[in-house]
Structure 1
């Protein structure tokens, strides 16, 4: 197994980790609105990443099974 196989998982986990830290810091500072926006932005970024990876997966499946 190559590191490139796990790269998307680490990227998604990294975005989630950073969003969680920003959420916690903002909430502790009393800025709950910013904390919720940070969480929403992190979710949107992850969904965009997943959509790209799903598009690549479907393209690969089409290529493998010759559904061009």
Structure 2
């Protein structure tokens, strides 16, 4: 996992926050929620392979 992934996650967080605030102030709370959910799913999509590798390494370490 590189620093590049951390910067991408931070960029998504900043973008989701700005878009969410704009949508909330314009009275579209439902759309702001959907933008937040989409941002969360994007970040999870990036993180899941690293979590899988972590559990694979732990399984190999303990020979399970």
| TM-score above 0.5 | yes
Aligned residues: 61
Q: Where does the alignment leave 5 or more consecutive residues of structure 2 unmatched?
A: none
- In the TM superposition, 1:17-36 aligns within 5 A as 17-36=14-33
CA distance in 1, matches of 2:12, 2:4: 12
- Give me the CA root mean square deviation: 2.2
CA distance in 2, matches of 1:26, 1:5: 32
Q: Where does the alignment leave 5 or more consecutive residues of structure 1 unmatched?
A: none
CA distance in 2, matches of 1:53, 1:5: 11
CA distance in 2, matches of 1:38, 1:19: 6
Match of 1:46 among 43, 47, 60: 43
CA distance in 2, matches of 1:53, 1:14: 19
TM-score where L is the length of structure 2: 0.74
